[in-house]
Amino acid sequence: MKHELENISTEDVDDLPESERRIIYMFYKDGKSLKEIGETLEISRERVRQLKKKAIRRLKVKESKKSFWNNKEQLADIGNEERR
């Protein structure tokens, strides 16, 4: 996927609601424009844009939560090493 979602896993995308998942795959994997996606899904280009934005927001939140927990575990490991 493009730079905007470079750290996002396929599993994270697969967890999205179906409409958002389809839009993300069509846009990033298939290279379709918002207009083309709208025509395929029979919704407006603007609605596609809104759903894409919502999906990206969900994916970024999920990624930041993963990052937080990974950092927390690393800090705990460091703290445990310092106590030894």
- For residue 73, name the pLDDT band (cuts at 50, 70, 90): low
Residue length of the chain: 84
The more confident residue out of 40 and 64 is 40
CATH of domain 9-83: 1.10.10.10
Looking at residues 4-13, what average pLDDT do you find? 80
Between residues 67 and 83, which one has the greater pLDDT?
A: 67
Per-state percent for the chain, helix, strand, coil, to nearest 5:
80, 0, 20
Q: Where are the domains of the chain?
A: 9-83
pLDDT of 84 over the 50 cut: yes
The pLDDT tens digits of the residues spanning 41-63 come to 999 999 999 999 999 999 999 88
Buried b (16+ CB within 10 A) or exposed e, 12-51: bbeebeeebebbbbbbbeeebebeebbeeeeeeeeebeeb
Q: Which of 34, 35, 39 is nearest to 53 (CA)?
A: 34
